[in-house]
Structure 1
Amino acid sequence: MTNSWLSASGGDLSAGYARHAGTLRGALRHALVARALRTHLPAGAQQVLDVGGGDGHQAVQLARIGHHVTLLDPDPAMLKQAMDRLAAEPEQVRSRVRLVEGTGEQAKDLVGGGYDLVLCHGVLMYVDTPATFVRDLVSAVRPGGMLSLLVKNRDALAMRPALEERWADTLAVLDTNSETGNLGVTSRAHTVAEVEAMLAAAGAFTTVWYGLRMFTDHFGDRPVGEDFNLILDAEWQAGRREPYRRIGRLLHFLAWTGRHDS
């Protein structure tokens, strides 16, 4: 399976990702995903697999509140960032996170299955066989467990270049439904219907989904300011309701396998 992140050449993608994570856009992504997870996770410690967990942001957040997380990522530089992040945490948090080098396709052999929660945030956009990848993710979730999937929104992909008045890029995105993002890596986007169909075909259902960054995606590398919590609340409220969530830059899906009583 081809992965455009892994096949990218030139430059340090992990350094670029770290810079992005420190911007308002990056901080909102992490905070909105974390809020959705807190809203829907059941009580009690969960066994979590974070596929493509990168620098460990979500893994550490979950470990701080008592969950046990296996972070699986194929990029040694990203795993180094996760290791550095963990080093700043108390021992009880560090002990709840395991770092493993490998791809999502290798998950069964490397880390097994039967997880209460599988995370896969910002990875599907780089793989060339998304339906197969989604099946691999769902197979790692126990019956009744949850999958958290974050993807780019095809129906809003042209919004950023248009709002930035990059008209040639806007037309290109409209024609191809893909783009070369800030990190210089080609990525693809999906519609709500496409993702829900892939999840259903893989055996995941009762999907809840949110839009992310309806109002702020065109802000470039603006840093986090004192108004962050107000912006976060505005994005959260809009991302839960029609029609705003459909123009979010990102789509966050929560899906359950087997029986789930909502």
Structure 2
Amino acid sequence: MKYVPDATGERGFSEDGTVDREGTDGRLSELDEYAVEQSLRLAEASDDEVEVVALTMGPDDAADAIKKALQIGASSGVHVCDDDIAGSDALGTSLVLAAAIRKLEPDLVITGMASTDGVMGVLPAMLSERLGWPGLTLAHTVELDGRTLTVVRDGDTASQRVQAELPAVLSVTDQSGEPRYPGLKNVMAAKKKKVEEWDLDDLGLEADAVGAAAALTTVRETAPRPPRQAGRVVTDSDGSGAAALTEFLTAGKYV
């Protein structure tokens, strides 16, 4: 899961080119709530006792993302928090998360389709590659029969049915099932659930392998988005409105 700036707030960049996470409130990425929901559904449908662990990496405030997942129903949480991680790109992030996943030794990793701040959508595939596990991404529906995972991807022109054996990495879309709201009982129970905090030493990683210095991409310059311009007003007092509207739609390639 990822702790991201709230999309309803004012978002921007810090002087070092990274996302400003202190100038606005943060929250659990909305798309990752679908991953939590799918995890809980699979756990509830299983005949075995299943533990749902919420994993995130980020600064101290990222613990709020785990808190939300626990309130929704996750069993426990792991927060990878280390100052040397700051500024990591997708490659560095996947390196840290893959190391944490190996330590947890799960049967199945479930993620959202993308984060609402970076919107890259590459982490599931990167985790699959680093772990050497099959990656079933962008799933709309999910079925788990024993250790066989089957998903359906719905595209614009066709649907794909994809199957793999566990362990596997799964990413789900915002069409996979509406996330549940945390009830009062779960909110109270979440206060007693275990949350572990790990750093790079716990994962056996060197500081020079992650962080801004190790990132292969750098934001060189940022500029605020220009304000929206006033729309064009056409007065149809002489019957020319239809022609003006057609001209506008054609020029903008809307028709």
Same fold (TM over 0.5): no
Which structure has more helix as a fraction of its residues? 1
TM-score, normalised by the number of residues in structure 1: 0.34
Rg bigger for which structure? 2
TM-score w.r.t. length of structure 2:
0.35
